Amino acid sequence: MPTLPWTVPNIPPERTEAHVFASRFETRTLWGALKFLARTPGVWQQVRKAPGAYGASLKAALMRRTFWTLSAWESPAALKAFARSGTHAPTARGLGPQMRDAKFATWTVTTDDLPLDWSDALRRL
């Protein structure tokens, strides 16, 4: 699966702080990776409508059973509201048993630094 390009649900104000969230998920099995992949479109649709989302992208290495997310948010509260609602919440709970490893990183940037650079995110993870 190719990288889903940086999508901008809400145009951020200039020279404002943005809260970045990056994740890396590795599934236990290829079947788990296929389940992750199958649930991606629903979560992606939620991201595209999420209040406070300034941008998001997803990378996938299906045969390596590994997925990475990178997103920028208006606030930690906006990210938390997204994660605990809509399609994301039951998807995350349902995929939990499929996960072998998960890593997360957060940091802040200014909105002038958007879109985010994958190389920086991968280094932080």
Residue 2 has pLDDT above 80, yes or no: no
The average pLDDT across 9-35 equals 97
* pLDDT-derived band at 1, boundaries 50, 70, 90: low
Helices (H) and strands (E) in the chain, counts: 4, 5
The average pLDDT across 97-111 equals 97
The CATH class given to the 17-124 domain equals alpha beta
Q: Where are the domains of the chain?
A: 17-124
What CA–CA distance (Å, rounded) separates 86 from 26?
23
Q: Using a pLDDT cut of 70, give the percent of the chain over it.
A: 99
Confidence (pLDDT) at 7: 96
Q: Which residues pair with 56 in a beta bridge?
A: 7, 71
What is the token pair recorded at 101?
A: 């490893």
What CA–CA distance (Å, rounded) separates 108 from 18?
6
* Chain centre distance of CA 64: 18
Nearest-5° Cα angle at 104, 50 to 19: 45
Chain-wide mean pLDDT for the chain? 96
